[in-house]
Amino acid sequence: MKPSVPGETDNTAETIEAIIEQVKAGDKQRYGAIIRKFERQMYTYCYYILRNHAETEDAVQEIFIRAYEQLHRYEREVSFSAWLYKMAYHHLINLKKKQSRWLKLVNHCKEQQTLPQVSPHAPVVEDMLAELKPDEQHLLLLKAVEQYTFEEIAGIMGIQAANARKKYQRLRHKLLNGRSQEGGIVNGTFAKSNGIR
């Protein structure tokens, strides 16, 4: 199966919904198909927040375990991917709260080792994310990278859609101004090439 993307087709959504129903009915082995379908995009999302491969692997595993344990609560009012991202969002917020300065220092030392990049844009995205607050990081990733709608983001982050749109516009303005002052943008090309619209 190819990785799922936000805004998935009706056919793909129907397939996921059918698998979910099979798992709810007791076919635990079918949950593996859900993991395979979403693990890559979930790993990328978590990595951009945690910026550590080992912590990201642990977080993704924990998110899928929690999703399995809570699957009986999933209702088809939202897409399964949005429901999963909401779970990931809250898990990552809790993880970031628990991290101490000492752990950040240890993790920084570990990250100095040569590791494969998540994507070719990883250094640029990481630089932008380092300048942002945790909620701004999630908003940028959910909109620009995962391409969720403001309504879906509102559901994931527990805010109003209009509020999400307004926050994103302010965030976009902040990033564009910051990059233009650094000389990293010419007529909006930086933003367009990095998915900030």
The dihedrals phi and psi of 76, each to the nearest 5 degrees, come to -80, 20
Regions of the chain short of the pLDDT cut 50: 1-7, 9, 184-193
Non-local (6+) Cβ contacts of 154 within 8 A are 160, 161, 163, 164
pLDDT at site 7: 45
Residue 100, judged by CB atoms within 10 A of its CB (0-12, 13-18, 19+), counts as exposed
SS3 129: helix
Q: What is the reported pTM? A: 0.64
% pLDDT > 90, the chain: 47
